[in-house]
Homo-oligomer: A and B are copies of this chain.
Amino acid sequence: MKQVRRREVIRTGTTVEQMVRAIADMIVTGAILPGEKLDEITLASRFEVSRTPVREALRELGAMGLVGREPNRSAVVTNVTGTYLHSMFEAMAELEGICARLSAERMTVDERRALELEHRSSMRLVHAGAEEDYAAHNTEFHTRLYRGAHNDHVFEMVTQTRARLAPFRRAQFRLPGRLAKSYEEHDQIVTAIIRADAVAAGQAAYSHVAIVSDASAVFAAAGE
């Protein structure tokens, strides 16, 4: 019974959580198109599990808003393109602004120092043009902002939103000159936070993400 066709089988392990992430990725990356039906049996055979865990995964995806569900109908991929995607980028900018503003007010001395260190250490990555490494630094940098706000619920929202946007931001640092520009914008945020200038920090963070969103929107619309 393990000798089913090995062609389309997706070997991610068999937990429901992994299936949720795998299907979510397929949706946001466009591997499954909006409006497409997600047949339970087909998914079950693809993941080499029975229908029961597939059903639970689909229900969770429904709660996340990635698929639509109606009684006695197949789950269908919701349309995450266009306006909703745009709304997520805009929301992301707002959330980043909040985090930066609150960080400017609330970060401990140690947190400010750590943020500055993290930031300064990334300069050599810019010069080296190390896109992959800079992306990792970038994640770390923003996570510090989210934590610095000292608000668990905001942290949850911003983390979740960021995760859902991840696939759309993936190739962003490939754009020429983006690394240096990103560093420059980070610098403004850090400076404002060190000065405890909440308004400036919020505005700088908002602009930073808003700019990224434009670039990514273009990228997303262009192809993928």
Contacts and interface: CB of A to CB of B under 8 A. Distances in A.
Interface of A: 15-16, 52, 55-56, 59-60, 62-65, 71, 83-84, 87-88, 90-91, 94, 98, 151-154, 156-157, 161
B59 A151 contact: no
Given A56-B59, A59-B60, A84 B152 contact: yes
A75 to B, nearest CB: 13
Contact of A153 (B15, B71, B84, B151): B84
A128 B98 CA distance: 39
How many monomers of this chain does the complex have? 2
Contacts of A65: 156
Contact of A157 (B56, B59, B91): B91
Contacts of A161: 153, 157
Contacts of A59: 16, 56, 59-60, 63
Chief secondary structure at chain A's binding surface: helix
Contact of A87 (B15, B91, B153): B153
Q: Specify which of A15, A65, A152 lies most central, judged by the most chain B CB atoms within 10 Å of its CB.
A: A152
A60 B69 CA distance: 13
A53 to B, nearest CB: 10
A163 to B, nearest CB: 12
A151 B63 contact: no
Contacts of A56: 55-56, 59
Given A63-B64, A64-B63, A153 B55 contact: no
Contact of A63 (B52, B63, B87): B63
B151 A91 contact: yes
A158 to B, nearest CB: 10
Contacts of A91: 151, 153-154, 157
